[in-house]
Amino acid sequence: MKEKIINLVALFVVGFVAGWMVNGWRLNAQIEATEAEHAQALQKAEQVARAKEQAWQAAHDALAKKYEKEKENAKTEINRLRGRISAGTVRLSVPARGCAVSENTGTGTGETRAELDPETANDLISIASDGDAAIRELNLCIDKYNELK
């Protein structure tokens, strides 16, 4: 009888250990499958993020190129205007109060105007140029923000 009880207990222990091991193997397989799914999801997320980053970088580069082109065009136009002012082909004038003239034959508007000397005209162009450059920079910043969101 003792022998049967010992055999029964031993059989129970062996069965319990075997079940425990099989369950461990099954759980290990589930853990490995979960880890593989996680790795695939992580890889896919990285690829999506990398694609978004590359698209943003391409858009950023295009905006920077457009900005540089606009900046160069503006610089060229400003240099042309300065050259025409120094050559005397273009004159800048401002409305002036003072001696009344019946009609200004130069403008045809009947408005009295004072012509600016070339140095003052260049200073005025510099102020306008700086303002335009600031506007271009802010527009670039806005465009970058709009690309990013």
Using left for φ > 0, alpha for ψ between -120 and 50, and beta otherwise, residue 98 falls in left
Q: What is the C-alpha separation between 24 and 11, in angstroms, rounded?
A: 20
| Interval 130-142: pLDDT, tens | 999 999 999 999 9
Q: What is the pLDDT of residue 78?
A: 95
More confident residue, 109 or 74: 74
Contact 124, 116 (CB under 8 A): yes
Question: What does the pLDDT average to over 100-115?
Answer: 64
Q: What is the C-alpha separation between 126 and 120, in angstroms, rounded?
A: 10
Q: What is the pLDDT of residue 47?
A: 96
* Cα 23 to the center of its chain, rounded Å: 53
More confident residue, 108 or 93: 93
pLDDT of 107 higher than 70: no
Which of 130, 19, 5, 35 is CA-nearest to residue 74? Answer: 130
Q: What is the pLDDT of residue 102?
A: 53
141: number of Cβ within 10 Å: 12
Confidence band of 125 (pLDDT split at 50, 70, 90): very high
| Interval 7-59: pLDDT, tens | 888 878 888 877 777 777 777 778 888 999 999 999 999 999 999 999 999 99
Q: What is the C-alpha separation between 72 and 64, in angstroms, rounded?
A: 12
| Interval 46-94: pLDDT, tens | 999 999 999 999 999 999 999 999 999 999 999 999 999 988 898 888 8
